[in-house]
Structure 1
Amino acid sequence: MLTQLQDSIIQFSGWVWGIPLLILLIGGGLFLFLYSGLVPFRYMRHAVAVLRGKYDKHDSPGDLSHYEALSSAIAATVGMGNISGVAIAIAEGGPGAIFWMWLSAFVGMATKFFTCTLSVMYRGKDEEGNAKGGPMYVITEGLGNRWKPLAIFFAVAGLVGTLPAFQANQLTQTLVDVVGISPENTATSKLVFGIVIALITGTVIFGGIKRIGKVAGKLVPLMVVLYLLTVLSILMLRIGEVPEIIQLIFTDAFSGKAVLGGALGTLIITGVKRAAFSNEAGLGTAPMMHGTAKTNEPVREGLVAMLGPAIDTLLVCTLTALAILASGIWQGFDGNGISLTLKAFDSVLPYNLGSIIICICVLIFAFSTLFTYSFYGFSCLSYLFGKRIGAYYNWIYIVTIVIASTIKLKFVISLIDSAYALMAIPTMVSTLLLAPRVRRAAKDYFSRLKSNFEAV
């Protein structure tokens, strides 16, 4: 029975990530990219100023500063999707999948600008009057109650999509690979690791969004710097191969030769899926976090959110991909996910430094993601049944960590991919319908900014 369920979910994942969803995510994102007139992209310096706290006002509604909101959102994206997800993209789609991840990131920046501007523009409130954001509130507050079934659809899909299955699965796999546990003891060891991970995660997530924001604000800079220094070291050691690798990414992107069956469409879908897993643009998770930002200016938070895919996919994922491809291990490697990344790093760095550093990075990445995702699931359950019932989500979350630590990677990926696909539908539909309101708000905000008036 369980095997049949797993097979059904794997088949559904392959079906739902078809051409219609590809058109909605990439086509919709490209429309938003062009519809914005590229205006937000011209204000990247201003976005950094907002992020640094220049415009912070402590009496503004919300729970997190701009920096804490972006750090928490990045904590969810700069994680296992960058270390393990990129390896999966290369294993399934070859080097060309990275090109389609890049394309998704560019349009994803525009998508995040629109979705996260809307998340502040149409915030809801819980029973205690606290500001809440996310596609479910954007739909009901922006489109009206007659669209509420679409909001419920998102929240239900979000309960599955924000489960910690992938992070827990790959974190325990990393520990097993690095420690060198024998095959006969692997299952028991994963279970033990899962219980320990669940206990550590619980100490943070039961403290609520403010504690999550503060922890993420400290972890994110540390993990990004450590990881980037490691990857840059690998690239320096293989610097002569980098130009050829970059050329391979572009040529393979349009050949599809690395994909089973040689299907270019499959290659594109692989890249888009892994980019969606990496930066979450268009899925609706990040707006839930950015919707809690302390601000009265929706456009400001949209600008800050736009930095996410640039940091996550264009920078971190690219460097990870170059490091894996430079190692040469990816060709003919009998494995996937984190195991490929570990092998690639160890093949270049001496004394197993690759495994040690990756293990440290994975611990930081995975825990930061685990902390943040709990808030997303809590938000979805609270929207459906109220904050009192939503509080029980953290217990479900903790149990899921233990279970996910012991199941197969392919099933985990298919489960999360399926939920992400379903989440993208209401998120993108509502964003496209409300896009004119964002453009009007952006025009007003940038006009005031140019006039040197303080945006209120």
Structure 2
Amino acid sequence: MQQLDSFLREFSSLAWGLPLLIILIGGGLYLLIRSRFLPFRHLGHALSILKGKYDDPNDPGQISHFQALSTALSSTIGMGNIAGVAVAIAIGGPGAVFWMWISAIIGMHTKFFTSTLAILYRGKDSAGEIQGGPMYFIVVGLGEKWKPLAIFFSFCGLIGALPVFNVNQLTQALNDIILRPNGLEVTFLTNLIIGLVLVSITAVVILGGITRIGKVASKLVPIMVLLYFILVGIILINHAGELGYYFRLIIIDAFQANYFPKGDTFLGGVLGALILHGVKRGAFSNEAGIGTAPMAHGAARTDEPVREGLVAMLGPAIDTLIVCTLTALAILVTGVWKTTDYNGVSLTASAFSEVMPLYGKYGLLVCITVFSMSSLFSYSYYGSKCMSFLFGVENKQYYNYIYIISILVGATTTLDMMINLIDGVFALMAIPTMTATIVLAPRVLKATKTYFNQLKKA
């Protein structure tokens, strides 16, 4: 087990090296400059689309704009925002949050381009159904000679969509908040039972496909986000006088890296390592440039690719700029990041308990449970789409068996192994996604110009 842990740590480190950082962040900056901050210039129009102003039931696709965004958010708003932020601060200090913000701003532009392409170049699966996602816009947009890149993305997606991190952190939360405080012993058997319960609930939803997943996500995600906002709001109100100090500390430490381990360096220094750490956690949180969200947005019911791109760009703003920031402030203002050795979800739970000792951690547990469950639903869809592309629609049900096994594995293995596995494979997924997106970027810009010209004439 120790050798496997060491191997996965090395794998993650190599995958997240300088070449990946250049294509993910450098490529995102290129898209930002080429689009001239388009997401921010058309934010109002994006919200109008999300509200259903331009919905047409006769358009091709399976789910509404709102359901597509909810499905994409259901896979990102969850452990990446609650446990991932805690990991970012526990390892990198407050400055890591700033680089998560930068990652999100760049990610808004990346998601606009990737999700526009998911509609612009939709393909058909082996059953003749319209599908969207990086594997399809690579083949349809760039041609058959690029198919090896699509195959590489789909193969990585089979692993990257496995929900081991979410399940692991949910199991840890249940153990730390429910079992241990009540004097119950945590064993392999108790974790296995948790895994079996998760399998049972997940199966009911994922067998209904993207339509059922979209409907469930569109109901669960908004309610849980609102509950989370209320709980974090209580914490911030109790520490209102410290908010200004910690906002400043986030920005100052982003360039000083005072809390990052001095032995870790990247690009010649500790600051480089902190930037890389923040970017990694930001990418894990909002998945911009990774390629998972375009698979959900590719199922949207629309014949206007730019509209779905505008809706998709809201994802990183909601996910990282808002939800992750709230989590980070809750951890920072309560001081638990300096007074405990906890990491991941346990650190966030400590922050909630500090202000709301009677009910805080239970409220957080409700949010964690629902967020994690909704993530299980959406990730199963991503993995099954990759399976369908590689082996045909008739074989995608076999992915469900692999997925179920991974839930049980996630419930009974260690946090470090899960983070390294997901980090590494997510990095590899970004290579084909960003390569194709950068090559196809001029076509997105052309489609965008045409769309807004037509909108002015309407």
Match in the other structure for 1:305: 312
1:237, CA displacement in angstroms? 0.2
Instruction: Choose from 272, 280, 288 the match for 1:281.
Output: 288
Larger displacement relative to structure 2 (413-422 or 255-264): 255-264
Counterpart code for 1:279? N
The match for 1:261 is 262
The answer (yes or no) to whether the contact 2:175–2:186 under 8 Å persists in 1 is no
Find the counterpart in structure 2 of residue 314 from structure 1.
Answer: 321
| Alignment match, 2:398 | 392
Tell me by how many angstroms 1:403 deviates.
1.3
Alignment equivalent of 1:366, drawn from 365, 372, 384: 372
Kindly provide the amino acid, as one letter, of the partner of residue 332 in structure 2: L
Is the Cα–Cα contact under 8 Å of residues 29 and 106 in structure 2 kept in the other structure?
A: yes
- 2:39–2:108: 8 Å Cα contact kept in structure 1? no
- Alignment-mate amino acid for residue 419 of structure 2: I
Counterpart contact for 1:109–1:310, Cα < 8 Å: yes
Partner of 2:267: none
Aligned to 2:266: none
> Quick check: 1:338 aligned with 2:345?
yes
Contact 2:133–2:291 (8 Å) recurs in 1: yes
Q: Distance in 2 between matches of 1:237 and 1:41?
A: 32
Q: Is 2:146 the partner of 1:147? A: yes
Deviations 1:369-396 (A, max 9, x none): 1111000000011100001111211121
SS of the residue aligned with 1:260? Answer: coil
Matched, 1:133 2:132: yes
2: CA distance, partners of 1:153 / 1:16: 14
Structure 1 stretch displaced more, 327-336 or 435-444: 327-336
Residue-by-residue CA offset, 1:324-383 (whole Å, 9 max, x unaligned): 0011010152121001111111012232x2211011001111011111100000001110
- 2-structure distance, mates of 1:283, 1:333: 33
Q: Is the 8 A contact 1:32 1:110 kept in 2?
A: yes
Aligned to 2:442: 436
Distance 2:253 2:448 in 1: 38
- Give the number of equivalent residue pairs: 450
Q: State how 1:5-16 maps to structure 2 within 5 Å.
A: 5-16=4-15
| Ranges of 4+ aligned residues in structure 1 off by more than 6 Å | none
User: Which residue of structure 2 aligns with residue 205 of structure 1?
Assistant: 206
SS of structure 2 residue aligned to 1:118: helix
**3-state DSSP of counterpart to 1:295:** coil
**Aligned pairs for 1:92-107 within 5 A:** 92-107=91-106
Aligned-pair distance for 1:184?
Answer: 4.9
Which shifted more, 35-44 or 409-418? 35-44
Give the Cα–Cα distance (whole angstroms) in 2 for the partners of residues 205 and 174 of structure 1.
23
Give, as a single letter, the amino acid of the residue that structure 2 aligns with 1:214.
Answer: K
How does 1:6-405 map onto structure 2 within 5 Å?
6-181=5-180, 184-261=185-262, 263-351=270-358, 353-405=359-411
State the one-letter code of the partner of 2:330.
A
Q: Percent of counterpart pairs with the same letter? A: 56
1:52-92 deviation line (CA, Å, top 9, x unaligned): 11111111111011111001001111111111110000011
**Counterpart-to-counterpart distance in 2, 1:252 and 1:395:** 45
Work out whether residues 123 and 140 of structure 2, in 8 Å CA contact, stay in contact via their aligned partners in 1: yes
Task: Find the residue that maps to 2:186 and give its secondary structure.
Answer: helix
- Give the letter for the 2:350 counterpart: K
Give me the whole-angstrom Cα distance separating, in 1, the residues matched to 2:126 and 2:290. 26
Residues of 2 paired with 1:161 and 1:153: CA distance?
A: 12
Give the superposed CA RMSD: 1.1
* Aligned-pair CA distance for 1:191: 1.1
TM normalised by structure 1 equals: 0.97
Q: Which amino acid aligns with 2:192?
A: L
Q: How far has the Cα of 1:185 moved from its partner? A: 3.0
Task: Give 5+ residue unaligned stretches, structure 2.
Answer: 264-269
Q: Give 1:188 deviation, angstroms.
A: 2.1
Give me the whole-angstrom Cα distance separating, in 2, the residues matched to 1:179 and 1:122: 47
Structure 1: 5+ residue stretches without partners? none
Structure 1 letter corresponding to 2:319? D
Aligned equivalents of 2:387, 2:339: Cα separation in 1: 43
* Secondary structure at the counterpart of residue 313 of structure 2: helix
Instruction: Check conservation: 1:176, 1:186, Cα contact below 8 A.
Output: no
Q: Is the Cα–Cα contact under 8 Å of residues 62 and 130 in structure 1 kept in the other structure? A: no
The 3-state SS of whatever aligns with 1:296 is coil
Instruction: Give 2:429's aligned residue.
Output: 423
State the SS of the aligned residue for 1:392. Answer: helix
Q: Scaled by the length of structure 2, what TM-score is found?
A: 0.96
Paired amino acid for 1:20: P
Tell me how far 1:144 sits from its aligned partner: 0.7
Letter in 2 for 1:310: A
Distance in 1, matches of 2:401 and 2:15, equals 30
